[in-house]
Structure 1
Amino acid sequence: MQITRTAPRLGIAALACVSGTALAADPDLLLPAMAAHWSGYLALATFLLAILLVSLEEFTQFSKSKPVMISAGVIWALIGWYAVTTGSAAQAEQSVRQSLLQYSELMLLILVVMTYINALGERRVFKTLRARLCNRGLSYRGLFWSSGISTFLLSPFLDNLASALLVGALILVIEPDNRRFISLGCINVVVAANAGGAFSPFGDITTLMVWQQDIQSSNGALDFWSFFNLFIPALISFLIPACAMHLALPKGRLQPHCQPVRMLRGARRIMLLFLGAIATAVLFRGVLHLPAVVGMLTGLSYLQFFGYYLKKTHRPLEEGVEDAEMLASPVPVDGRTPFDVFVRVGQVEWDTLLFIYGVALSVGGLGYIGYMATASDIMYSQWGATAANITVGLASAVLENVPTMYSVLTMMPDMTQGEWLLATLSVGTGGSLLAIGSAAGVALMAQSNGNYTFYSHLKWTPVILLAYFAGILVHLWLNARLF
């Protein structure tokens, strides 16, 4: 969330590295006069202030959705006022409705993914995985690598935030007084989560945004499978910091002390339904050429029907007997509360969804004013696509990856498949450079009771930066055919 803005061109260049929205406004609807008017400057300053507050979330404990939501309201109020005074109110209304439509598609897609993740959590899938890792009697180095690799492999399916919270919780509880191991383990989990989320459309909100936009690059469409070209570059971005931190780990073995946990009835079937929902979304998008969100919402109905079955066949356990019966039972059984899919919907991360709304509408407004078109010309026409994509990746360490990727999608430069994948990789892995660069880092800092901090992460930033550029170089070499 960078700060400055004096001359118009400097302000626009800064905005290109800090902002985000769903789509660039139609050139016919831009208000070039407003870009040089005090109302345009006020709109830009409002958004920069909101992004600054988001970047300070760790210190202010101020949820990130609040500043960007009020920013969206202020920016569109200024646009509305200017549009009314210049006789262009209909165009402003059309533009804000376009931004709302595109945000709604993304929100519903994320909502389904989060609902499935919450359902898997309610069925104790993640607690079971964590307990099995905990009780394997690993050494510090064994747990470090097991947790990192598990996070890297889970992120493509669960998204980077959920994966980091799941595995990070194990790091935090297994050795609560070992500050050194917790710090290194959490950094490893954050880097692994962001790297793993970069090569799958469902691995990170930013990757999902790129896939959902149905981008037609200059050398072909960016389809679901295109993102898996980033697997090896993302793996490099994870392995280099992990190998460096391996040398700093304490020696010795852990004493396992986690209670055994058994998954509840239906857990494995919900995993299969989740994969079926993803397959349906890919089918709608890749074969039927319809929005992926329609397929994903169809996939939510699978969970609804199965949830109805679980509810009707529920066998409640007596209070106090639950854990003993679950451990003794040869098959997974239910807990005391029947499964309810709408409870799972209600427990999604609404702060994240409202944050994306605020970012989308704020920068939708700035794009309508005309700032994003100028930023695109400066960065992608004058600097070149590769330099611009590397820059926005570095910016995501400060600005968070969601606003940064929204800015690229707002500018919508004409790029090859390789360049779009470079933007995805750089924004995803660039968020690992600082603890505040991704939701995974912010969430683990909040839960670590001071054992994992901004400054403990900062000590390893040079190594993570080396891995960032190494991953980019591997992508440029390995996927040269896509450029």
Structure 2
Amino acid sequence: MGGLEVVLIGLAIVALLGVMLEEVTHISKAKITLFFGTLSWILLFIYHAPDTATVEQSLHENIAEIANLWLFLVAAMTFVAYLNKKRLIEGMMNVLLPSHLSERQLMFMTGGFSFIFSSLADNITATLVSVAMLIPLNLPVNKLLRYAVMVVFAVNSGGVALITGDVTTLMIFLAGKTAIPDLLWLSLPSLISVIALAALLSIGLNGKVTFNRNKIKVRRVDVQIAAIFLFTILMTMLGNILYHLPPVLTFLCGLSVMFLVAHFNGENDDQNPILDYIRYIEFDTLLFFLGILLLVGMLKEISALDSLLYLYQVLPVNAANFLFGILSSLVDNVPLTAALLKANITMSQADWLMLTYAVGVGGSLLVIGSAAGIVTMSKIRALTFARYAKFSLALLMCYSIGYGLVYVLTSLVIATS
């Protein structure tokens, strides 16, 4: 290994440490990964000058993959930003939730709501909405922490079965490793593991909870845009299954329909232009993905990802995938997934589905292991790394239950199809 390779791997390690220690350094992980990601490629170009054709081609391929992911996320997150800004999501909660319910019922409803909503929206938005539902209840800290843990696990579990719900699922799908109909089989094991965790966390909860309802005016145009969003998700799945349409194309088309419907309903005035809702999406998250994927692309360019193959050489594939899920609670699952895809590991479709579940849900084992955990920790100050870690055994049990069910299901359905 040459001197440049050592330096570049060192930069990648420093970047990942920056992601893990974000709460200590108070430096956004988006800033850290974007800096080291771009710096790495600059060093590659300088080192190979003047013969940079190969590096330039690799960078163009890397940027194309990132653009595909970025455009999809921008479209999906803009839909959710509009509906959230118009308080349509809060209005739906007022309709669906009863005024009074027990703490145990609230635990299962929190898990169910977070699970379903994260299948439709991105994990960050689903987490923000779920946590916003809990904070006004003024629960004791020891009980609030249980619900916070439930939100993190349910959000991560709900997103693994749909490409709209989890970035790692989208990345694995875009790489051609899974198909939408097969991904849907992950829903049942994920849901059962969420129910199992809700049962564990509700032990000892015997109180009652009262919701204070706020009157929200729901307009016809907001309902229309919500319907367009749901229709776009449906068409994304059907279009890919029937005609192999790229999901990014379907979602951008749906976004354009949203803009047109808003315009013809008078939502595009100078004070509130519809295009401004793109500004409300989490650009920190998008920039983080950009930086991480640039780093992973650089590691592939210097052949540093080949070491990942070693784990799959010394362990059975199922065991290796299970461990990678646990590892994703220490290292963000996005770079792990990107690294595995770049390493060109050969696995069956059933094995890729098990990996999809593992890296999607495994990050829940520690609070720093997923975007949902980081967001929840930032919104609930009482939730610290140490307090969350007290629930790690219960989380590991439920993660293992889900992984085992995925193994059984893929063995019965995918492997025999």
* Contact 2:99-2:210 at 8 Å conserved across structures: no
2:400 is equivalent to residue 480 of structure 1: no
CA positional deviation for 1:403: 1.5
Distance 1:312 1:126 in 2: 19
Which residue of structure 2 aligns with residue 411 of structure 1?
Answer: 343
Distance 1:265 1:59 in 2: 45
Distance 2:235 2:198 in 1: 35
Q: How does 1:211-290 map to 2 (within 5 A)?
A: 211-215=173-177, 222-249=178-205, 251-290=206-245
Question: Greater relative contact order: 1 or 2 (C-alpha under 8 angstroms, separation 6 or more)?
Answer: 1
Q: Secondary structure at the match of 2:176?
A: coil
Between the aligned residues of both structures, percent identity stands at 28
Which residue of structure 1 aligns with residue 168 of structure 2?
Answer: 206
Q: Of 141, 156, 178, which residue of structure 2 is paired with 1:194? A: 156
Which residue of structure 1 aligns with residue 85 of structure 2?
Answer: 122
Distance 2:400 2:31 in 1: 34
RMSD: 2.0
CA positional deviation for 1:410: 1.4
Which residue of structure 2 aligns with residue 101 of structure 1?
Answer: 64
* Contact 2:131-2:379 at 8 Å conserved across structures: no
Distance 1:198 1:415 in 2: 18
2:36 is equivalent to residue 68 of structure 1: no
Structure 2 length-normalised TM: 0.94
Q: Which amino acid in structure 1 is aligned with residue 197 of structure 2?
A: P
* Contact 1:134-1:258 at 8 Å conserved across structures: no
CA positional deviation for 1:147: 1.4
Q: Of 307, 311, 316, which residue of structure 2 is paired with 1:375? A: 307
User: For structure 2, which runs of at least 5 residues remain unmatched after alignment?
Assistant: none
Distance 1:110 1:395 in 2: 25
Q: Which amino acid in structure 2 is aligned with residue 345 of structure 1?
A: I
Which residue of structure 2 aligns with residue 296 of structure 1?
Answer: 251
2:334 is equivalent to residue 402 of structure 1: yes
* Contact 1:198-1:204 at 8 Å conserved across structures: yes
Q: Which amino acid in structure 2 is aligned with residue 69 of structure 1?
A: L
* Contact 1:134-1:257 at 8 Å conserved across structures: no
2:379 is equivalent to residue 447 of structure 1: yes
CA positional deviation for 1:312: 5.9
CA positional deviation for 1:355: 0.5
Which residue of structure 1 aligns with residue 286 of structure 2?
Answer: 353
Distance 2:8 2:268 in 1: 55
CA positional deviation for 1:386: 1.7
CA positional deviation for 1:135: 5.6
CA positional deviation for 1:271: 1.8
For residues 69 and 301 of structure 1, do their structure 2 counterparts lie closer, same or farther at Cα, with a shift above 3 Å needed? Answer: same
Distance 2:236 2:71 in 1: 12
Q: Of 89, 99, 106, which residue of structure 2 is paired with 1:143? A: 106
Q: Which amino acid in structure 1 is aligned with residue 276 of structure 2?
A: V
Which residue of structure 2 aligns with residue 386 of structure 1?
Answer: 318
Q: How does 1:306-385 map to 2 (within 5 A)?
A: 306-311=261-266, 340-372=273-305, 374-385=306-317
User: For structure 1, which runs of at least 5 residues remain unmatched after alignment?
Assistant: 1-35, 216-221, 315-336
Structure 1 length-normalised TM: 0.81
* Contact 2:267-2:274 at 8 Å conserved across structures: no
Q: Secondary structure at the match of 2:330?
A: helix
Distance 1:419 1:313 in 2: 47
Distance 1:106 1:435 in 2: 25
Number of corresponding residues: 414
Choose 1 or 2 for highest CA Rg.
Answer: 1
Deviations 1:169-191 (A, max 9, x none): 1111111x521221111111111
Q: Which amino acid in structure 2 is aligned with residue 435 of structure 1?
A: V
* Contact 1:284-1:294 at 8 Å conserved across structures: no
* Contact 1:280-1:298 at 8 Å conserved across structures: no
Deviations 1:286-343 (A, max 9, x none): 33334321222111111111110222698xxxxxxxxxxxxxxxxxxxxxx9653211
* Contact 1:188-1:241 at 8 Å conserved across structures: yes
Q: Secondary structure at the match of 1:41?
A: helix
